[in-house]
Amino acid sequence: MACGLVSMTLRGLVSVVILLWTVTSTDGGDIHVTCLFSEDCVLACSFQPGSELVIHWLKPEDKDLNVHSYYYSTDQLEQQSQRYRGRTALFNDQIPKGNASLLLRGLTLQDQGRYKCYTSTIKDHKESFINMAVEAPVRLVDIQLSDDIITCNSTGIYPEPKLTWSTDPPSDLSFDPGTIQNSTSTKVDDGGLYDITSTKQFIRDRTNICNVTSGTVERTATLKQQDPVQGSPSSEVSIPCSVSQSDLKTFNLTWRFNQIDTILNSTYTKGTSQMYIDDQWKEQVQNLSDSGSLQLHKLTMVYQGIYSCELSTARDSHLVLTYLEITPDKPSDGTNFRWTESRFNHWYNNSSSSSSDYSSSDMSPAER
Q: Where does the pLDDT of residue 296 fall: very low under 50, low under 70, confident under 90, or very high at 90 and above?
A: very high
Amino acid at site 11: R
Report pLDDT for 10. Answer: 32
Kindly tell me if the per-residue pLDDT of 344 is higher than 80.
Answer: no
Is residue 290 within 8 A of residue 302, CB to CB? The reply is: no
| 314 in a structural domain | yes
Helix (H) or strand (E) holding 347: helix 341-352
Q: Is the pLDDT of residue 337 over 70?
A: no
Q: pLDDT grade, residue 181 (50/70/90)? A: low
3 state SS of 231: strand
Residue, of 338 and 74, whose pLDDT is higher = 74
Entry pTM: 0.77
- CATH number for position 283: 2.60.40.10
d(Cα 10, Cα 236) in Å, to the nearest integer?
61
> Is 140 within a domain?
no
Question: Distance between CA 260 and CA 68 in Å, rounded?
Answer: 50
pLDDT at 201 over 80: yes
Does the residue 168 lie in any domain?
yes
Write the burial class of residue 332 (CB in 10 Å: 0-12 exposed, 13-18 middle, 19+ buried). exposed
The residue out of 191, 222, 253 marking a domain boundary is 222
Instruction: Domain count for the chain, please give it.
Output: 3
Supply the pLDDT for residue 231. 92
Confidence of residue 353 (pLDDT cuts 50, 70, 90): very low
Return the pLDDT at 365.
58
- Tell me, yes or no, whether 239 and 203 share the same domain: no
Instruction: Output the pLDDT for position 81.
Output: 96
Give the range of the structural domain holding residue 52, as residue numbers without chain letter. Answer: 4-135
d(CA 267, CA 254): 9
Burial 213-232 (b: 16+ CB within 10 A, else e): bbbeebbbbbbbbeebbebb
pLDDT digits (tens, 9 = 90+) for 46-76: 999 999 999 999 999 999 999 999 999 999 9
> In the chain, what percentage of residues exceed pLDDT 70?
78
Residue 336 CB coordination number (10 Å): 8
What's the pLDDT at 367? 53
Q: Quote the CA–CA distance of 259 and 275 in Å, as a whole number.
A: 19
What mean pLDDT, rounded, does the chain reach? Answer: 83
Question: What was the pLDDT predicted at 346?
Answer: 55
More confident residue, 62 or 335: 62
Convert the pLDDT of each residue in 235-292 to its tens digit.
999 999 977 766 677 899 999 999 889 999 999 887 788 999 999 999 999 999 988 9
On the question of pLDDT at 154 being above 60, the answer is yes
216, 242: one domain: no
Are 206 and 246 members of one domain? no
Same domain (yes/no): 344, 237:
yes
Q: Give residue 242's pLDDT.
A: 79
Compute how many other C-beta atoms are within 10 angstroms of the C-beta atom of residue 9: 12
